[in-house]
Structure formats: C-alpha cells, structure tokens
Amino acid sequence: MICRHCQREIADHSNFCYFCGARQHTAQTARSARRLMRSATDKKLAGICGGLGEYFEVDSTLVRLIWVLVVVFTGIFPGVIVYLIAWLVMPEAPQPLPQDVQASQPAPQSNP
Ligand SMILES: [Zn+2]
C-alpha cells in the first residue's frame, strides 16, 4: 500500500507510515474501532435509531424517519418486532460524563 501522506510504499495493513509516521486510515481499522450500540444520549425510546445514526454517521432524525416509514409500509408489526429484537441484541453505550448529560437536556420552558 501507499502512504497517503508521503506517497511512499509501505507494507500492507500498516497502521502507521514508517517514513513520515502518518496514521493510515484503512477500512478495517475504522470498522473495528466502533461498535453498533444503543445510544445513551440520543434516544427517544431505547436509543436504537440514535445508535444506528452514530454507527452509520448519519443524522439520527433521518434514521428515525426512515424507520417509521419502513414500519408503516410493512404493516407496523414486523418493524416493531425488529425494534424489540434490536433492543435486546444491541448493548447500550456507556453513559457520558455528567456535564455532557446536563448540556444535552433541553432547558425548561414556560408554556403559557
Ligand atoms: Zn508516509
């Protein structure tokens, strides 16, 4: 493989370049670094759609929208079963630091 930084030949599957020390971002290392988990912060029900959004690096709102459309057009029941299975199978992501939780909570609003 070729280093992306200095364009010199290095051994296949190297994590770092021998010549310039640049980190080599291969598809394999990127995939093994992240896991499919339920989101601890971005959740409406169980965090399934938030976790999928984090995994595929897309907006979780888009994932929810697609999920709802799929559920509606498949007749509700299969989608709900798949959601419950995902809830059981997917581990929950670790809770973030307390200041992150406070920052993500919406400010209390006064409803006239
Ligand atoms: Zn290099």
Percent of the chain at pLDDT > 90 equals: 6
The pTM of the full predicted model, rounded to 2 decimals, is 0.49
pLDDT at 112 exceeding the cut of 90: no
Residue 21 Cα to ligand 1 middle (Å): 6
C-alpha span between 64 and 67 (Å, rounded): 5
Residue 96 Cα to ligand 1 middle (Å): 35
Residue 51 Cα to ligand 1 middle (Å): 34
| Per-residue buried b or exposed e for 25-58, using 16+ beta carbons within 10 Å of the residue's own CB | eeeeeeeeeeeebbbbbbbeebbbbbbbbbeeee
Residue 9 Cα to ligand 1 middle (Å): 8
Residue 30 Cα to ligand 1 middle (Å): 19
Average pLDDT score, the chain:
79
Decide if 60 contacts 44 (C-beta within 8 A). no
Cα dihedral 75, 44, 82, 37 in deg (nearest 10): 160
Give the per-residue pLDDT at 91.
82
Among 10-14, 31-35, 66-70, the least confident range: 31-35
Please give the average per-residue pLDDT across 17-23, as a whole number: 90
Give the per-residue pLDDT at 99.
62
Q: Biggest alpha carbon distance in the chain?
A: 67
Predicted confidence (pLDDT) per residue in 36-66, tens digit: 888 878 777 888 888 888 888 888 889 888 8
Decide if 57 contacts 43 (C-beta within 8 A). no
Predicted confidence (pLDDT) per residue in 64-79, tens digit: 888 888 888 888 888 8
Residue 29 Cα to ligand 1 middle (Å): 17
Please give the average per-residue pLDDT across 7-17, as a whole number: 88
Task: Give, as one character, the DSSP assignment of residue 71.
Answer: H
